[in-house]
Chains A and B, each alone.
Chain A
């Protein structure tokens, strides 16, 4: 037999895609040489080949040794450790192209062979096809590149999972680097939700960075992130501005007002595509939330002179300041009017609350007022050029916003969300993704729409906003993206260290998995159950992967592969290094300025620490630009 040296044993038992193999005596040396290269026999995760006629079936070794003996055989095996279990994964004609899926099964007595590096190359690869990108190489075969089909990767969604420190961000940076190579993919389009500001440095040449409290002087040329409140739909707007309503009636009052404001704005400044007949409260039409708030404030807290004729609203009882001016407040600055207290004593001018005032809206209206004043919320309520005047006039429309995000001269846009207040983070991300989704969905016939220029959305730290809570806005939108985005050219890449906290529907829709080291058992089970392949053997390797090593499996790869991801050059790595407790380098050469090994500062300055906290900005005033 020509392939004697690769011969491992024979098929003894076939159950679905699980095949038990008894090893031959000859192969039990444990080490065989093929074309001068040594191979260890029976390594978990390595491939075997079962020739059947003109076809080869391929499988992955998932179990070796005593426990791999079929149950009914246990008693008959006197020296019985020579067993192996494999999972079948695909087939291919001899010297042809490998394909996933099986058209036939092996039968008892079929020979099982080791797969040599030459054959592996044939299985894994067509490196010359431009729609494959190389991320690294196969772990136990350095000469074989690990290739990813970007067609499947983008549209069928993907997930990158791994414990902290397993090389997750570096893997993401590698993937994005490969996907945004301008020679190969001049029109690639990637948007990243970066929760901790890790990627700006790693992708600085290829990306525009949008950030709240951006530092325009820094080398990264950050730009200010704005999400105009009027682009949100009604539910999102309420979450962010008013919080929970006490009852449906209050919600309807606000809903009617928003609708009216949008109507008036549209009547004043017609916008193509929108008409007052078809306008809904969710339509992205600019209106002044400041005016709306001011109006609601008056109607909630206002008092009026009962004795005067005419409508109560025309006789508001404003408090008077020292100069004799009425304290009418300032809508744009979020300063509320001040009203006189109710007076019911006989003989004095009677002051009363407005009839039909929205007393139960008090909390919501006050909350919005606070948010209009606090600078942290400016990115949403005072979005610069997108800030509407009282009548709804804006200098920039949404086209500028979308053009900045997904139509710029650089392939990648990083939305650095590290400055978003945590209480509205979920909703903000939800709103942001919905804006992108709807824009690309409706533009599906246009050249810049999603179908003709697909968008990859990378969601960092997804467990924070995609957890099992179905109420979450982000979770809802992402579910929609993973279920329907494929048809409209919006692909998700979900990155998380805690996959068990991610909504299972979302995870199960991911076609490709980059699984890095995962030590936690519940996380691992979650991933195993989300995988479409029957590959227990492979996922059992997850806890023992080396840093920077990933098992890539799913649609974007022909075969599951254990890959050593090629890290980007040192100065292009994401900025997620852990704080140094004690520097391993001698201090003279260290590039670290802190740690427990240094002397304690004589006069530690905690005023600046509090300053940064109060300002919610890590950059204190003392820093010279």
Chain B
């Protein structure tokens, strides 16, 4: 999956989204990568455009969508 780097985030390195399967991929600064499943596209765009990616991730995605480490 293609990911775009995130600038100025203390924890997230890059994010990517697969529309066909609604999968959000997040790579953290330490290289650990996770895929969140069944994430609506508007959540991804919200994350992408958020002022604080880490903050949006914590508020909207963590604890809401299921994921797998990849």
Contacts and interface: CB of A to CB of B under 8 A. Distances in A.
Contacts of B29: 591
B68 A619 contact: yes
Contacts of B70: 218, 619, 623
A589 B68 contact: no
A395 interface: no
Given A590-B11, A593-B34, A599 B64 contact: yes
By size class, the interface of chain A is 20 to 34
A602 B64 contact: yes
A601 B65 contact: yes
Given A590-B58, A624-B21, A599 B63 contact: yes
Contact of B30 (A570, A593, A599, A605): A570
A588 interface: yes
A587 B55 CA distance: 7
Interface residues of B, number: 29
A589 B54 CA distance: 6
A605 B58 contact: no
Contacts of B32: 591
B63 A571 contact: no
A453 interface: no
Interface string A200-240: 01000000000000000011000000000000000000000
A598 B67 CA distance: 13
Given A588-B52, A591-B32, A624-B21, A604 B62 contact: no
B28 A591 contact: yes
Main secondary structure of the interface of B (DSSP, over half): loop
Given A599-B63, A619-B70, A591 B30 contact: yes
A624 B1 contact: yes
B21 A605 contact: no
Interface in A328-357: none
Nearest to B56: A588
Contacts of A593: 34, 62, 67, 69
Contacts of A218: 70
A605 B68 contact: no
A93 B30 CA distance: 51
Contacts of B28: 591
A591 B11 contact: yes
A624 B18 contact: yes
A622 interface: yes
Interface in B15-70: 18, 21, 23, 25, 28-32, 34-35, 37, 52, 54-55, 57-58, 62-70
Contacts of B18: 624
A593 B35 CA distance: 11
Nearest to A573: B30
Contacts of B8: none
Contact of B62 (A589, A598, A620): A598
Contacts of B4: none
A624 B34 CA distance: 11
25 contacts: A571-B30, A571-B31, A588-B11, A588-B54, A589-B10, A589-B11, A589-B54, A590-B11, A590-B58, A591-B11, A591-B29, A593-B34, A593-B62, A593-B69, A598-B63, A601-B63, A601-B64, A601-B65, A604-B66, A605-B66, A608-B66, A622-B37, A623-B35, A623-B70, A624-B18
Interface of B: 1, 10-11, 18, 21, 23, 25, 28-32, 34-35, 37, 52, 54-55, 57-58, 62-70
